[in-house]
Amino acid sequence: MAKCDFCGKDVSFGIKVSHSHRRSNRTWKPNIKRVKAVVNGTPKRVYACTRCLRSGKVTRAV
């Protein structure tokens, strides 16, 4: 679910490093919102990241 339908941004993985340099796995989740947008001329509920919403890639349906 944590994937943007427009740009394809999804979860990325990395390593958390503490002050004592102990390492453990961690994830970064994108800021995904479930919005009502116009897709192919019809309003539809989609998942979009906030960067796509802000940049105008997604046309919101009112």
Q: What is the pLDDT of residues 13-32, one digit of tens each?
A: 999 999 999 999 999 999 99
Does residue 51 surpass a pLDDT of 80? Answer: yes
User: Which pLDDT does position 2 carry in this prediction?
Assistant: 87
Q: For residues 29 and 49, is the Cβ–Cβ distance under 8 A? A: no
The pTM assigned to this predicted structure is: 0.78
What's the one-letter identity of residue 2? A
Q: For residues 30 and 2, is the Cβ–Cβ distance under 8 A? A: yes
Does residue 1 surpass a pLDDT of 90? Answer: no
Cα(42)–Cα(30) distance, rounded to whole angstroms?
26
Average pLDDT for the chain: 95
User: Which pLDDT does position 56 carry in this prediction?
Assistant: 93
- Among candidate residues 44, 35, 29, 38, the one with its CA nearest the CA of residue 59: 38
User: Which pLDDT does position 52 carry in this prediction?
Assistant: 96
